[in-house]
Structure 1
């Protein structure tokens, strides 16, 4: 078994066709078939079921595919780690964050990294807060931006990036035109789109409900964040979100935000790395860039909250 065979296997699995994979890999189809057969013989199992419409992974093939992806990802990381030692950082850095943070950081972060480290390929992944944590735990990313969510964070190193405010976001109208804040108990007058307690936002809101003894009128989201924001812009719902999620919409007067008071709602945002793996030097440099961008956006008021 060798790396070339593993890459051949993944290509066939993704193309679902030996002929298509051979064209993509620029090798002869019989040669590719032979390498897959050798791999199956060595593993003493059948990885693909063959049919007139192509190939499909067997149960063994699916299991092997997940292990191969992880192995090749770790190998790529090892090569990138070693390349940094010669003073020429290059390769792929994978960062995971949720949609709100991605909205404010993705573009300026890509620009800053491209300018300072042109040989670095920045791979950004997004997901719900618990999905981002799981990516980090599985070793799929180099670093992540995660939220306070009450979940088990064993084997994760966390550093506070910002203590962000969750704001009341609604459609602008004549009633809230001059309003700048809203008391927590007044939120009961509105239906609020809130995620489940499994996700960070739902966890934080439930914590404040316990703290105040006030139960809010909650409903589940309308799909992804972008969809819920569209609903809010049209006046179909109200949201509790960090300003990072909608500052661009507020600038264009599609959304009006009010600061929640008595009490304010805060959520801790962390830069996180896997505790069992040494942090790459280039990752430390990118963390510095993320901190500088966060400070800049906080000072401009587009990412509201308290810096550490």
Structure 2
């Protein structure tokens, strides 16, 4: 068993076909098949099974794949430590972003890394906060911007970076000028399009509605913010989301937005990464760029994020300690 064979094995699983894998790794199909057969002979186990559309892992193959991913990640970390001796930051860095964070900063982040860190190969992965935490714990991402998650607090460091206010977004009516704010109780009187649980926005709306002893009228459930804002723009209902998530259609005049008050609903943006990891120059430099881009978005008029409030920053830092749960709700609210 060697590193090359493990890479080939994972490529076959990713492509679902030895033929496609041979093209992706630039190895002849017979040679690739030989590597797989030698792995099976060495382990005395069947690792792949054929089906009508290609191949898939057996139970033993899935177990090997998990080990192979960890082994190859350790090899990459070793390479990163060696490059740490270089003056110029270089290497592969993977950053995870939530959908709203991706819309807000992915372009300036990639542009800044390309300009300032030309020897860093940056990969951006998009997922919800819960999935990004799993990526970090499974070494599929080096760092991520996540919201209010407490999962993995014993293995991950969380740095609070910004607040994000929730807004009521609604189809604009010609000639009607609405106030800039709206009480939550009034929001709950509208026909709403919201994500399904356990999305943080939906979970918090359900919790606060229960506190008010109100049953919100949720007419559609959609697990995509871009889709929700399109539905709102077409007059199919209203929703709750960060201002930045709806900024394109707000500025185009298709929908209006009102800051939710009584209570205000905020969620906290954190930078998350493994506590115990090799801190390469590339990692350190990329995180500095990431923090700079987030800070610029906070300062931008109409930006996605706002400066973090002192009391929430103190509460959030509790997640930096292992096995500590902050005394705050998943989304913070202020009267």
TM-score (norm 2): 0.82
Cα separation, 2, equivalents of 1:51 and 1:132:
32
> Over aligned residue pairs, what C-alpha RMSD do you find?
2.6
Cα separation, 2, equivalents of 1:181 and 1:20:
55
The alpha-carbon distance between structure 1 residues 45 and 249, as it changes in their structure 2 partners (threshold 3 A), is same
Q: What are the superposed Cα offsets for residues 148-191 of structure 1, whole Å, 9 maximum, x if unpaired?
A: 14556332211111111011111221475342111121112212
Higher deviation after alignment, 251-260 or 290-299? 290-299
Cα separation, 2, equivalents of 1:272 and 1:52:
42
The alpha-carbon distance between structure 1 residues 19 and 212, as it changes in their structure 2 partners (threshold 3 A), is closer
Q: What are the superposed Cα offsets for residues 4-46 of structure 1, whole Å, 9 maximum, x if unpaired?
A: 1112222333444444444544444443333222211111211
| Partner of residue 305, structure 1 | 306
| Partner of residue 288, structure 1 | 288
Cα separation, 2, equivalents of 1:219 and 1:282:
47
Tell me, yes or no, if structure 1 residue 189 matches structure 2 residue 189. Answer: yes
Cα separation, 1, equivalents of 2:109 and 2:36:
41
Cα separation, 2, equivalents of 1:59 and 1:246:
44
Cα separation, 2, equivalents of 1:40 and 1:125:
33
Contact residue 268 and residue 308 of structure 2 kept, 8 A: no
Tell me, yes or no, if structure 1 residue 9 matches structure 2 residue 31. Answer: no
Cα separation, 1, equivalents of 2:85 and 2:147:
32
In structure 2, list runs of 5 or more residues that go unmatched: 310-335
| Partner of residue 104, structure 1 | 104
Higher deviation after alignment, 108-117 or 142-151? 142-151
Cα separation, 1, equivalents of 2:66 and 2:234:
42
Secondary structure in 1 matching 2:109 = helix
| Partner of residue 140, structure 1 | 140
Matches within 5 A, 1:208-227: 208-209=208-209, 215-219=215-219, 221-227=221-227
| Partner of residue 259, structure 1 | 259
| Partner of residue 170, structure 1 | 170
Cα separation, 2, equivalents of 1:38 and 1:278:
33
| Partner of residue 38, structure 1 | 38
Q: What are the superposed Cα offsets for residues 221-251 of structure 1, whole Å, 9 maximum, x if unpaired?
A: 3242221111011111212111221222222
Q: CA deviation at 1:102?
A: 0.8
Q: CA deviation at 1:255?
A: 2.4
TM-score (norm 1): 0.88
| Partner of residue 330, structure 2 | none
| Partner of residue 82, structure 1 | 82
Cα separation, 2, equivalents of 1:197 and 1:30:
47
| Partner of residue 124, structure 2 | 124
In structure 1, list runs of 5 or more residues that go unmatched: none
Contact residue 18 and residue 33 of structure 2 kept, 8 A: yes
